[in-house]
Chain A
């Protein structure tokens, strides 16, 4: 399509997809690139499935069409599967090895795929799987999971790591800068292996 690079970040409302999108946006500004994006706000955020579209070098609309994303970052295994059709054929997936079953599974007795089944299905595409929660905890706070994920994805994203680092410093709460910088580096280090 365009010379753009389309990133879809998905997860569950409250996991920090919006901060991740802001970091990418800030990094684009640092590099003087254009950027367009779209987010889930309002009631849909309450524990529901959420998506952030980020179009690096985007000039037109904010939405990534299905089958066009260059990169899918998912904070949850089931959500990775739900949005996997957004990825283009040779696109890459960076997925947190973390599964929250939707409450519908319990209240309506629905069948959810197991962790192994999901991973097997995701492996049909170019998958980078990491335990971002564990790494975030090691970095100093489980809340830095989203920054770990960005770090891992930074190996693929066509933005300079120093721009992303600067954006992380600019946007995370002041008290947590060190933790988040560490989280980014740990993610980035892991991203080298996949």
Chain B
């Protein structure tokens, strides 16, 4: 196939095709989403592929496919593995016959995540092998090996790229797509697939017995390797190992860890040949803990004695600083430079014409002193508008709202949740809130797409991952079936309509649901929707700043007057809220 300049996730997707993957499922989550986004648009697809409603569902589907002897891939971000953790833990007992690779992408520094958890800890917990690539090329090359390893061991294999692998780019040597197409076949074997206590006790023992051969195999396959070059040694894993290689001076031994569990005997032999060992890895001290177990009297420097941080991501300069602190002088000094201070920040914001901003505006107008639990999606950016008080994980808006409602806090509760998040893990919370009599208003922000992660379709879109039409679920009918009697739909671009429905909801007790329906402004633009730009009449504008506080990036303010720039999508909301009536569609004043 030759060499290409690819995003890490594109290289991983290609490697799956080279491995003859037969079944792909997953739920979008940064930084993992592009793997399926690339695979689902391949023209001559010979594999089944789906976006599932959540990670647990995706995992169980992929596991079942692997039980049928075919090669399966399941993708998610690190926190998605929490949702899939239930089947994950027991899948190590049942094992697989076809290769099952679980891609769980970690996000050190939480570039786009709610925490910095480390997937390697899950691998350790579940006693499953985990591959941890240090570069895009290695990520690509590891995937076929992961499938083979999974089939040889009869176990799912966890593959853990990080943001700097998934969203980095590089020249990658690609292989040819595989031609071997398997067909799934389920062979009944209750002792393997029905984990009643009598079976599972046996399976647990078998899993434990496999461990030492896993450790040996990972060394034999060359994922973990070393070079003895001196009396002191540096052990690094993942992208950290790549930064170390850039800075490693002569005379320091180097061990690279690319797979877990680590063979303790092999590791111990290496460590004991040195007088001092420094461990560099992102997030949890997974490598360091094993090194400490085998080090004996050899001093180990790492996170546990303050040489390296537990949190954040590594970078060449961060690795250089750790090396200097530990007395492992890096090959190059880094100039000390500081960014210019006090520049106004430019954080991500809701797009011009985003439905969420209008919905938040109406919510704030009606429920001035409410508590606003929210959820995971673009609308978390509503924080900047003061309408997001809590965000913890997918689906935790309705549940947090009902918890606060039952706590005795007298405030109104208005929670916001996107359509994809509602279908992911929101519905159970709604059933529970109705069942237990919470007093909350739920606003489902329904843009019919999973926008934040790159506009993936979901069961509400009316289209599958492959672009095949599918019957869209009815959010209205789901909410009614959960027992909600007040279910109303509104267009968030119609501020008066939104306000009226919210006021109606405010008057009532119990669980009220408002479905705020409007297309994502990005998908609308791609679909060719043109509404025309709006403009401010400077003669009428009083400079009151109401439109500026609305927070739309299309509205600027200079010389005591508002101005609308080329980002305007024509949503009309600023024209509705301008008290002076100074905003109108351009050319129609």
The proximity string for B residues 541-565 relative to A, scoring 1 for CB distances below 8 Å and 0 otherwise, is: 0000000110111011100000000
| A82/B169 contact (C-beta < 8 A), A44-B112, A48-B347, A66-B317 known | no
**Bound: A79/B343 CA distance, A:** 9
Partner of A101, one of B7, B245, B344, B350: B344
A58 and B170 contacting across the interface, CB-CB below 8 Å: yes
Verify if B468 is at the interface (C-beta below 8 Å from A). no
**Bound: A44/B169 CA distance, A:** 18
B31 and A35 contacting across the interface, CB-CB below 8 Å: no
Nearest CB of B to A31, in Å: 11
Within 8 A of B (CB), among A49-66: 49, 58-63, 65-66
Verify if B481 is at the interface (C-beta below 8 Å from A). no
**Bound: A37/B555 CA distance, A:** 34
**Bound: A155/B105 CA distance, A:** 39
Q: Which residues of A contact B549 (CB under 8 A)?
A: 107
Q: Which residues of A contact B170 (CB under 8 A)?
A: 34-37, 58, 62
The proximity string for A residues 99-124 relative to B, scoring 1 for CB distances below 8 Å and 0 otherwise, is: 00111111100111100000001000
Q: Which residues of B contact A121 (CB under 8 A)?
A: 340
Q: Which residues of A contact B548 (CB under 8 A)?
A: 106-107
Q: Which residues of A contact B70 (CB under 8 A)?
A: none
Verify if A47 is at the interface (C-beta below 8 Å from B). yes
**Bound: A192/B242 CA distance, A:** 37
Partner of A28, one of B171, B334, B343, B552: B171
Q: Which residue of B lies closest to A55 (CB)?
A: B170
B340 and A61 contacting across the interface, CB-CB below 8 Å: no
Q: Which residues of B contact A33 (CB under 8 A)?
A: 171
Verify if A1 is at the interface (C-beta below 8 Å from B). yes
Within 8 A of B (CB), among A84-104: 84-86, 88-89, 101-104
Number of interface residues of B (CB under 8 A): 57
A34 and B316 contacting across the interface, CB-CB below 8 Å: no
Verify if A42 is at the interface (C-beta below 8 Å from B). yes
Q: Which residues of A contact B350 (CB under 8 A)?
A: 46
**Bound: A83/B552 CA distance, A:** 25
Q: Which residues of A contact B381 (CB under 8 A)?
A: 43, 46
Q: Which residue of A lies closest to B7 (CB)?
A: A39
**Bound: A172/B336 CA distance, A:** 39
| A84/B340 contact (C-beta < 8 A), A48-B348, A61-B242 known | yes
The proximity string for B residues 98-132 relative to A, scoring 1 for CB distances below 8 Å and 0 otherwise, is: 00000000000001100000000000000000000
Instruction: Say which one of A19-27, A146-154, A158-166 lies at the interface with B.
Output: A19-27
Verify if A7 is at the interface (C-beta below 8 Å from B). no
| A107/B316 contact (C-beta < 8 A), A25-B169, A47-B351 known | no
Q: Which residues of A contact B164 (CB under 8 A)?
A: 38, 61-63
Within 8 A of A (CB), among B158-189: 164, 167-171
**Bound: A58/B5 CA distance, A:** 12
A38 and B169 contacting across the interface, CB-CB below 8 Å: yes
Q: Which residues of B contact A65 (CB under 8 A)?
A: 315-317, 320, 334
A37 and B169 contacting across the interface, CB-CB below 8 Å: yes
Partner of B31, one of A42, A82, A105: A42
**Bound: A101/B343 CA distance, A:** 11
Nearest CB of A to B334, in Å: 6
A22 and B5 contacting across the interface, CB-CB below 8 Å: yes
B346 and A61 contacting across the interface, CB-CB below 8 Å: no
**Bound: A85/B33 CA distance, A:** 32
Partner of B551, one of A43, A61, A107: A107
Q: Which residues of A contact B5 (CB under 8 A)?
A: 22, 25-26, 28-29, 35
B344 and A102 contacting across the interface, CB-CB below 8 Å: yes
Q: Which residues of B contact A104 (CB under 8 A)?
A: 344-347
Q: Which residues of B contact A111 (CB under 8 A)?
A: 344
Verify if A13 is at the interface (C-beta below 8 Å from B). yes
Q: Which residues of B contact A88 (CB under 8 A)?
A: 335
Partner of B315, one of A41, A63, A110: A63
A45 and B349 contacting across the interface, CB-CB below 8 Å: no
Partner of B3, one of A29, A41, A79: A29
Q: Which residues of A contact B320 (CB under 8 A)?
A: 65
Verify if A78 is at the interface (C-beta below 8 Å from B). yes
Number of interface residues of A (CB under 8 A): 59
Within 8 A of A (CB), among B63-116: 111-112
Verify if B246 is at the interface (C-beta below 8 Å from A). yes
Verify if B250 is at the interface (C-beta below 8 Å from A). no
Partner of B378, one of A1, A46, A48, A84: A46
Nearest CB of A to B157, in Å: 25
Verify if A81 is at the interface (C-beta below 8 Å from B). yes
Q: Which of A28, A65, A86 has the most CB of B within 10 A?
A: A65
Verify if B452 is at the interface (C-beta below 8 Å from A). yes
**Bound: A21/B378 CA distance, A:** 25
Q: Which of B4, B332, B380, B553 has the most CB of A within 10 A?
A: B553
Verify if A12 is at the interface (C-beta below 8 Å from B). yes
**Bound: A28/B172 CA distance, A:** 12
Verify if B46 is at the interface (C-beta below 8 Å from A). no
The proximity string for B residues 333-371 relative to A, scoring 1 for CB distances below 8 Å and 0 otherwise, is: 011111110011111111100000000000000000000
Q: Which residue of A lies closest to B555 (CB)?
A: A106
A62 and B169 contacting across the interface, CB-CB below 8 Å: yes
Partner of A42, one of B111, B338, B339: B111
Verify if A140 is at the interface (C-beta below 8 Å from B). no
B339 and A85 contacting across the interface, CB-CB below 8 Å: yes
Q: Which residues of B contact A103 (CB under 8 A)?
A: 349, 551-553
Nearest CB of B to A43, in Å: 5
User: What 8 A-B pairs are tightest by C-beta distance, nearest first?
Assistant: A25-B5, A42-B30, A48-B348, A67-B335, A62-B168, A42-B112, A60-B246, A46-B348
Q: List 24 A-B contacts (CB under 8 A).
A: A13-B348, A25-B171, A28-B171, A35-B5, A36-B169, A36-B170, A38-B168, A42-B31, A42-B111, A43-B30, A43-B348, A43-B380, A43-B452, A47-B349, A60-B246, A61-B242, A61-B243, A62-B164, A62-B168, A65-B317, A86-B337, A103-B551, A107-B548, A112-B343
Sample of 18 further A-B pairs with CB below 8 A, known A39-B168, A48-B347: A2-B246, A28-B171, A35-B170, A39-B169, A43-B378, A44-B348, A47-B351, A59-B246, A61-B239, A62-B164, A62-B170, A78-B346, A101-B344, A103-B552, A104-B346, A105-B344, A106-B551, A106-B555
